[in-house]
Chains A and B, each alone.
Chain A
Amino acid sequence: MAENMDDMQEIVQDFLVEADELLEELDEDLVRLENESEDEELLNKIFRAFHTIKGSASFLGFEKLTELTHKLEDVLNKLRKFELKLNSDMMDAILGGVDKAKEIIGLIKDGGDPESVDIEENVKQLVSFLDENYKPEEKSEDKAEGVMTEEELVELQEQEVMEEEAESEAEAGESEEEKPKSKDEIEEEIERLLKQRMEEDKEKRLKRKEKILSEMQKKQATESSEKKDDETKAKNVPEKKKKPVMAKKSKPIVEQTIRVDVQRLDDLMNLVGELVLGKNRLVSVAQKADEKFSGDEVVEELGEVANQITLVTTDLQMGVMKTRMVQIGKVFNKFPRVVRDISRELNKEVELIIEGAETELDKSVVEEINDPLVHIVRNAIDHGIEAPEDRVKLGKPSKGKIVLSAYHEGNYIVIEAADDGKGMDPEKLKEKALEKGLITETEARQMSKEEAFALIFKPGFSTAEKVTNISGRGVGMDVVKTNVEKLNGIIEIKSEIGKGTKVILKIPLTLAIIQALLVKVTKEYFAIPLVSVVETVRITKDDIDKVENKDVLRLRENIIPLVYLGDTLGVGKNRKTLDEKEIYVVVVAIAEKKIGLIVDELIGREEIVIKSLGNYLTNIKGISGATIMGDGSVTLILDVANVINEASIISANIEDHLIGGYKKEQPVALVASRELKAKNDLVSALEEKGYKVVYAHTDKEALDLASEHIADIVFIDLSIYINDGYNLAKSLRSMPAYKVTPFVAVSTDGTYDNEKLKESRFGKLLFAPLEKDEVYAAIEEVMSRNILVA
């Protein structure tokens, strides 16, 4: 029994997936049908789709869905036999029916009652077309929505006859005008003509039907003969058979596919992620080995292996990524329907052009991109495209144009939505924002064109005078921003008054494995997703300008706010790490915002695998995740959107972090030792020599202290925790303030590694227990040597 239930469940699941796909295609096909109502193949395809859904639905006992699709099928059946002619009312009814079907399927999916949906209205509408008496009126397109009654139809016909009469009269010319008729006579005449006309119509219709039928027969006959011909030819020229079909239909040939659970792909992606980490590690080990034992045969072989693994891993990664890729057409294909509905509602004429629908991107990205695009297109039709009569006045074609296009650019997919509407006026936007209190007057004055365009993303901003159900609430563009931010994407807006607006979205192709720029701030490394990085620049202290006591950088024609990355993360307090002659700025952008982040050091570019910080550390401000580097250390990934937001409320200035800004009254010594005895000996000796001593017990502490106090001399216990003293010295040497500072090593257990000492440029090695004289001598020695170097 339970098994039966499971089986049933599975069948329903399959049905839902199939129905979803069919309905999605239907939307697209139906809109296409509106323009190509004679396309028999298309009609048949739509008919088949309804038929399939009806069949499965009745098998599974979804009565309402069966009834609805049955009626839809009937209408389509008449349409494809050309017994009915498609008009926009009919199209509305069919689309309405499709929407209802979607609703029912949604209910089945969510476990609701699929029979609770009210389909009476839809069925009634559809049935009315099936009625023998239903007269397809070619002119009814101009009429308002709704189904016409018989009376209306007759009226309409009468009207037409009158019009036609008037025309023929006019054509006939003066002769008729000369013989005016009495009222009765006219009415009589009308009656007579009407009858005649109706007869004629009937005949016409019959004829047309016959014509169509004969045409169809002819077509079938020719087709079958063609087929025969083809079949005979097929053996000789197999390609020829395909070509005419291809030309007729731009649709690709059905590909061979299998359905795969997304979860499996995710798992696979995770495994590849682990592999990439392993590969990074292998490469780093191979490099280290090469540095150490250069020329050794085994090391060379290791290098080769590492290279090969790198290649294969990259290919594998691409392969797995590709299996997760879907065409953006999946999203784009919904838009003909969206555009049709909105433009009809607003009485605008809009033509939608889709380019690059075959561009592929990660499934998870596709899911997030739909909503923003709907809002953008909606906005374009509502605010961008002018009413047809206005367009004509402006000398534009009455039909507005929206171009949705997608293409790849490096590791991004670029999606553009361009309209040829009225464009945006930056001044008007500023005014509106001022009015709503979203910006201040000074802000408005300093605002560039791009920044003014970006105002539309502020929540609560709307230029619409009235709230309609299409737009005006000021929510839409905020949604766009939030979703794009979530994807680490960038939004750009280009607009020209009178010419149109173009919204450009740049979205990373995949979310799991990304390229990142590694930077260093204080003692920590951070990875900035490369998609958010616009450029990196090296500046000096003099390049920094001030606007209202905030640091900014003039970069070409742009003014970019500058902040110290450490400040935005709350780790920058009292840190003096910047060399005023060499300040590194990473210009980052998220959605519509751009900012310059100052870092201590640029490390390089690396491929990283995003890992979560786990359940214990959720929602950390400024951090979106972590990754594991080739050397096994953990590096945090910046949440650029959050950092940019944080930057606006930071009061600290760049000067606070300049090494030159460190004020000291007496020389400073940094002592890093885990041994209390050694530490005490050193401290007392140094203090006697007039040093201010800062003391660290671990290497982490030492690095923190070293950036808070610029020491003149450093004593390092070689056995310090957590990593040893050699590594600490290396880290210190990489800080600009400690490039030439004298280092003294202290060995508490008598062991030392001369190579490593040299590498980190220790000036002297002491052994515990320490004698005061020894320490004095060491200070003297390293200080004098330092002067010589300088």
Chain B
Amino acid sequence: MNGKDVDLFDKSLALNADMEEELARKNRKTDTIIMKDEYDQVVGFVLNNELYGIDILDVEEIIKPVDYTYVPNTKPFVMGVINLRGKVIPVVDLRVRFGFVPNPINADSRVIIVAHNEYNVGFLVDKIEKVYYIEKKSIEPTPPNIPQNIEKYVKGVGKMPKKIITLLNIEEMLKEGGSLTPKTGSAMEVVNNG
């Protein structure tokens, strides 16, 4: 392997204990260098007591819930819109989106602001865990035990030494849109698929 081309993994970024443990183990055993591009960084969050992840490249920022404005004629999971430094951003209650019982906003609630392609949407989640490094080769396709209503939005499952994390397919979730009259929504789909 050509040393110059390799972006060395920055250990200081490894925030989770799992990761550090694994690194230590690997270093002890084989002395190999761990490459950054072998790993995906995901923002881990809790929803209905389960761990989910969104690719960190899609996450713009994470905020505490702020006052939102209800928008009529939207799908039930659209809570409303918020003002994020002059930008109007829709917020989706992910619990409702996935068919869980809605949980009132509490001190742990957070909104993950996602920026993907031309979309800017906030997702209300129960709690933010932390940023995880998931080894790419440990990501497996969606196992059959994932509920059907969520399956469509799952990219795969990341296996970490101590737990697993369900990785979400943001694109799929965004392109459906939140309007009850998605006239232009279908056109958008065509564009995305093409």
Contact = CB atoms under 8 A, between A and B. Distances in A.
Contacts of A444: none
Interface stretch (B1-9, B33-41, B67-75, B130-138): B67-75
A723 interface: yes
Contacts of A701: 104
Interface stretch (A339-347, A631-639, A769-777): A631-639
Nearest to B122: A616
A614 B78 CA distance: 13
A635 B71 CA distance: 9
A617 B69 contact: no
Interface stretch (A41-49, A197-205, A372-380, A621-629): A621-629
Dominant secondary structure of chain A at its interface with chain B: loop
Contact of B105 (A626, A635, A721): A721
A275 to B, nearest CB: 11
Nearest to A569: B72
Contact of B90 (A614, A721, A722): A614
A571 interface: yes
A722 B74 CA distance: 21
A697 interface: yes
A569 B69 CA distance: 14
Contacts of A722: 65-68, 105
Contacts of B72: 569-571, 620-623, 636
A700 interface: yes
A754 interface: no
B156 interface: no
Contact of B119 (A612, A616, A622): A616
A319 B68 CA distance: 34
A613 B180 CA distance: 14
B88 interface: yes
A618 interface: yes
Contacts of B73: 569-570, 620-623
A615 B70 contact: no
B188 interface: yes
A632 B90 contact: no
Interface string A599-616: 000000000000111111
A707 to B, nearest CB: 13
Interface stretch (B15-23, B140-148, B171-179): B171-179
A747 interface: no
B47 interface: no
B81 A723 contact: no
Interface string B154-192: 000000000000000000001001111111110010000
Given A277-B86, A632-B83, A721-B105, A523 B120 contact: no
Interface string A368-403: 000000000000000000000000000000000000
Contacts of B87: 611
A532 interface: no
Contact of B181 (A525, A614, A621, A635): A621
A66 interface: no
Contacts of A274: 86
A501 interface: no
A698 interface: yes
A474 B164 CA distance: 64
A617 B86 contact: no
Nearest to B173: A616
A614 B65 contact: no
Contacts of A277: 86
Nearest to B81: A634
Contact of B83 (A570, A623, A633, A697): A633
A616 B78 CA distance: 10
Contacts of B67: 633, 722-723
Contact of B121 (A523, A616, A636): A616
B72 to A, nearest CB: 4
A674 B106 contact: yes
A130 B108 CA distance: 87
A628 B181 CA distance: 24
B43 interface: no
Interface string A554-586: 000000000000000111000000000000000
Contacts of A569: 72-73
Contact of A618 (B70, B80, B182): B182
Nearest to B73: A621
A143 to B, nearest CB: 53
Given A632-B83, A634-B88, A721-B65, A619 B183 contact: yes
A492 interface: no
A40 interface: no
B62 interface: no
Nearest to A628: B83
B89 interface: yes
Given A617-B81, A618-B184, A626-B81, A612 B88 contact: yes
Interface string A533-571: 000000000000000000000000000000000000111
Contacts of A698: 104-105
A615 B81 contact: no
Contacts of A611: 87-88
Given A622-B72, A634-B88, A617 B178 contact: yes
B194 to A, nearest CB: 16
Nearest to B184: A618
A636 B178 CA distance: 16
Contacts of B71: 613, 617, 620, 623, 636
B125 interface: no
Nearest to B64: A722
B54 interface: no
Nearest to A611: B88
Contacts of B74: 617, 620
A614 B179 contact: no
A613 B88 CA distance: 6
B118 interface: yes
B69 A636 contact: yes
B69 A634 contact: yes
Interface pairs A-B: 10 shortest CB-CB: A697-B104, A569-B72, A621-B73, A634-B69, A626-B88, A721-B105, A618-B184, A619-B183, A616-B90, A616-B121
Interface of A: 274, 277, 523-525, 569-571, 611-623, 626, 628, 632-636, 674, 697-698, 700-701, 721-723
Given A617-B74, A620-B179, A621-B180, 5 more contacts: A523-B70, A618-B183, A621-B181, A634-B83, A723-B67
15 contacts: A525-B69, A570-B72, A615-B174, A615-B188, A616-B90, A616-B178, A617-B71, A618-B185, A618-B188, A620-B74, A622-B72, A626-B81, A634-B83, A700-B70, A722-B66
